[in-house]
Copies of this chain bind each other. A is one copy, B any other.
Amino acid sequence: MGAALLFFILMRNQVARSHQTAVNITSVVVLIALYHYLRIFNSWSDAFTFVDGSYIQKGAPFNEGYRYVDWLLTVPLLLAELVIVLKLAKSTTRSLITKLSIAAIAMILLGYPGELSAADSSTRTIFGILSTLPFLYLLFVLFVELGKSLDRQSDQVRKIVNGLRFMILIIWGVYPLAYIAPSVISDEATAEVVRQVGYSLADILAKPLFGLFILAIALIKTQDEAGSLPETASA
């Protein structure tokens, strides 16, 4: 996340000023993630101690809440950067961002009570299903409503947006898999590791990789508008 943050800040002036906002939001997203991963690291270190050849859980519980606070901030921002970089009409931009943000926030808030409950509890299953509903709505907005606004984009941009939408469909599908890990893997320690590795991998793909594609769109648009390399368009 820190490496991505540096890269996005350094690459910013290759993008025309009118397209920098989306890249700036990408930087903000990976900074937020960087902070929370440092907190997650510390919380994990505090939760487990090495005793007699293996790690055991000490007093303080590992705080999974950091991930949810992170997502609550970063997921709406990720969706906003996708809409903003396309430079649609102001009213379309506002309406898409509002719908996507509400769906994202509902999805994350509904996931949290399930995350906190026991591995084999029905609460976990019910909130898992409930949080899938806003996710489906979010996909509908991305594939149907956003789809209507793609006519004016260049072929290259349209291809990347298509790729990004399928990325959201597939990568965001890793989160539910990590979520159900404690329910399907009987060994508690293995389940916890699978869950954390799953969430972390998905975060790397959904934030820095997603941001690289947003940067690519901003660079293509800069080039298309300048008719050349953006040597003169930035400071």
Contacts and interface: CB of A to CB of B under 8 A. Distances in A.
Interface of A: 2-3, 6-7, 9-14, 16-18, 20-21, 24-25, 27-28, 31-32, 35, 50-51, 59-61, 73, 229-231, 233-235
A233 B235 contact: no
A160 to B, nearest CB: 15
Contacts of A24: 7, 10-11
A59 B51 CA distance: 7
8 contacts: A2-B31, A3-B32, A3-B73, A6-B27, A7-B25, A10-B12, A17-B229, A50-B59
A35 B41 CA distance: 13
B17 A14 contact: yes
Nearest to A58: B50
Contacts of A229: 17-18
B10 A10 contact: no
A215 to B, nearest CB: 11
Contacts of A21: 11, 14
Nearest to A231: B17
A13 B231 contact: no
A33 to B, nearest CB: 10
Contacts of A50: 59-61
Contacts of A16: 231
Contacts of A10: 9, 12, 20, 24, 27-28
Contacts of A14: 17, 20-21
Nearest to A61: B50
A229 B18 CA distance: 7
A28 B51 contact: no
A21 B8 CA distance: 11
Given A3-B32, A231-B233, 17 more contacts: A2-B35, A3-B73, A7-B27, A9-B10, A10-B12, A10-B20, A10-B27, A11-B21, A11-B24, A13-B17, A13-B235, A14-B17, A14-B20, A14-B21, A18-B231, A50-B61, A51-B59
Nearest to A77: B3
Nearest to A10: B24
